[in-house]
Amino acid sequence: MAHILIADDDELIAEMASDILIDAGHACGWVTNGEDALTLMEKRRPDILLLDQDMPGISGVSLLRRLRGSEKFYDLPVIMFTAMSGEADEDRAMYAGAQDYIRKPFSPLILTGRIERALIKRGGPHLDLKTRVARDAGFLETIVQPQRRWV
């Protein structure tokens, strides 16, 4: 089960996608703008963000760029979710750091399949940016989890 956040200004689409993902066994919620998405993500990091590309206020691509520059969300799997159909829109989303792109209207099978694929591709647990850079640079051979002490 993954915790999925949907940010889409079309409430009908967001609710429908949420229902499909809940039926597939995931915990899912939705918001209608990028500002609310950021507020919720600060409180609880989702496993995946399903992000509408064209929203009022902070656009999906702007929010995605902000996330990729963040120490906390640099590695958050993001799937762009949009009614835009141009190849340039897809390229812009992927260039900004999206892992995948789903066009509306969508089928439940496509949505759940792309979510499962993103979960598989994300790899291990989230590491803070400093630890990740140190590990990738070879300064840390393994990540040692703190042991719990029972008092």
In a domain, 19, yes or no: yes
**Which residues span the domain enclosing 10?**
3-123
What CATH number did the domain enclosing 7 receive? 3.40.50.2300
Q: Please write the tens of the pLDDT for every residue from 115-124.
A: 999 988 876 6
For residue 9, is pLDDT > 70? yes
pLDDT score for 130: 75
In a domain, 92, yes or no: yes
Length of the chain: 151
Number of domains comprising the chain? 1
- Where are the alpha helices (H) located in the chain, listed in sequence order? 11-23, 34-43, 60-68, 87-96, 108-121, 129-136
In a domain, 86, yes or no: yes
pLDDT score for 90: 78
Q: Is the pTM of this model over 0.85?
A: no
pLDDT score for 147: 56
Q: Please write the tens of the pLDDT for every residue from 53-92.
A: 888 889 999 999 999 999 899 999 999 988 766 677 777 7
